[in-house]
Amino acid sequence: MTHPNPTTAQRAPKQRSSNPRGGLRPSSLAWPAALAQALLALALLCSTAAQAAPLDELRRQVEAGQFEQAYATAMAQPQLVGDVHFDFLYGVAAINVGRIPEGLLALERHLTAVPANDRARLELARGYFQLGEYTRARAEFEFVLRYNPPAGVRANINGFLQAMQTRETADRRASARVYAEAGGGYDNNVNGGTFLDEVQFIFGNSTIAGTPSRQVADGYAQAAVGGQHLVRVSNRFSVFAGADLDHRENGSEKAYNLSNAGVYVGFSQLGAGALWRLTLSGSTLQVGGNRYRNTGQLGLEANVSFSPELSLLGFAQYTEMRHAEADRVRDARATTLGVMLTRSFNSLPWSPSLGVRLSFTQEDNERLRDDLDRLVPLVRVFGAVTPLPSLRVSAGLTVFQQIFGGTDIGFGTDRRDHGLTGDVVASYAIDERWSLRADAVWSRNRSNQDLYDSRRKAASLKLRYQY
């Protein structure tokens, strides 16, 4: 509908133009302009309808749980990336088909514009949980809890929080802002010595019974505290920093008490279809109350998901080790490269998971001791089951070699070791803050140099609180 122009509504009746050239009258110029405006409005309407059509289809597919189709629909509409509605639907679909880094990035964009969307935040938290990025997952879950969600949502979140408690078997700082841990155990080889009483050197046999080279057993108490702080800088980028302190006190073999203190700082980045993490860390190890070694390490990880149940972690580490004066001959630098593939079977009873880890380390001695250079290829297979929502049991088997680079003058040979380690861990979440962990480990090392033949059995029980 065309509205009259208020400035010309009271004009006199139209008259013929007196233009001697016969040009268009002023009133005849109005209809082309009106037509152009109408065409422009029609084009905008068609554009809006064209954009709404895939969004409506994408919304229908997500609400129906047709995530594979929804992901395909989203991938066919790259021009909609950045639209707040599209990013939410795209993110939910991507996470549910296992394209987790893509989904996280889309949901992060959405939450920048709509921070109050709890559904988006819960999907974001679940995505970080599936990638093992428990610090971010815990932060997002607890953000939703602060706003008193319905009982069903709260119970679901508490289930995830408890699951994180039971999964943190490799890295106690994985999701805790602050944690404390205490417990005790028994170790039949607290000094890492050999089980042999007599060792054959190049000059003949030597008895080592009663010396520090002979393994000794003892019970111990252990305590650890630490904390971590994470700051989200953008929808792609976060920085974190933290510190840990751990002490193990033997019952009688005080010379082998262990204390370890460490700090770390780093950042994580979403991009190129992966979640990247770069960490710079430093630690100091004391044995018997005396400094033994300082370690500095730079580590890079890339976590890629292929489906909701299949993920690949690639990692690289550079490490420098500096020992106390008495052991300076062991100063070294090491480079490690590796991959870890994990497959979950969430549709099966107890939600089992299996994985394999391959790594290769090259350690170069910095004191011109070729006999202390070494190569360490390693293979580890592992698995876990969850018989109860609050209980997770995991087990692993590790096989490795140590190939040293030069002849040991004491033995007259180049050292070669073959090692085997088995471990079992059971973690029980009492609630989202408290958990119990029981673990047992058995290891054996066989060497062509008798001094390094060793066996070890150890078990422990620990109570942990984290906030």
Domain ranges of the chain: 44-164, 172-466
Stronger pLDDT, 153 or 169, i.e. the higher one:
153
* H/E segment holding residue 44: helix 30-63
Q: Is 205 helix (H, G, I), strand (E, B) or coil?
A: strand
Confidence of residue 30 (pLDDT cuts 50, 70, 90): low
Q: Is residue 5's pLDDT more than 80?
A: no
DSSP 398: E
What CATH topology corresponds to 172-466? Porin (2.40.160)
Give tens-digit pLDDT for 75-120: 998 899 999 999 999 999 999 998 999 999 999 999 999 998 999 9
The closest alpha carbon to 251, from 222, 287, 209, 214, belongs to 222
The three state secondary structure string of 410-437 is: CCCEEEEEEEEEEEEEEEEECCCCEEEE
* H/E segment holding residue 293: strand 290-307
CA distance 432 to 165: 7
Confidence of residue 297 (pLDDT cuts 50, 70, 90): very high
Overall average pLDDT of the 144-156 stretch: 90
Q: Which amino acid is it at 72?
A: A
Residue 25 Rama label (left phi>0; alpha psi -120 to 50; beta): beta
395 contacts: CB under 8 Å, gap ≥ 6: 382, 383, 384, 422, 423, 424, 425
Q: Is residue 12's pLDDT more than 50?
A: no
Does the domain at 44-164 match CATH 3.40.50.300? Answer given as: no
Q: What is the CA radius of gyration of the chain?
A: 32
pLDDT at 466: 86
CA distance 134 to 160: 10
Give tens-digit pLDDT for 316-359: 999 999 999 999 999 999 999 999 999 999 889 999 999 999 99
Q: What are phi and psi of 74, to 5 degrees?
A: -65, -40
β-bridge partners, 226: 179, 244
Confidence of residue 50 (pLDDT cuts 50, 70, 90): very low
DSSP 252: S
Question: Which of 7-11, 185-189, 303-307, 343-347 has the weakest average pLDDT?
Answer: 7-11
Question: Which of 100-109, 134-143, 273-282, 364-373 has the weakest average pLDDT?
Answer: 134-143
Average pLDDT over all residues of the chain: 87
247 contacts: CB under 8 Å, gap ≥ 6: 222, 223, 224, 257, 258, 259, 260
Domains 44-164 and 172-466 share a fold: no
Q: Is residue 246's pLDDT more than 90?
A: yes
Global pTM value? 0.82
Beta 332-344 vs 353-365: how paired, if at all?
antiparallel
CA distance 349 to 223: 35
Residue listed under structure tokens 């690289």: 316
Alpha-carbon dihedral 190, 195, 200, 202, rounded to 10 degrees: -20
CA distance 125 to 119: 10
How many residues can be counted in the chain?
A: 467
18 contacts: CB under 8 Å, gap ≥ 6: none
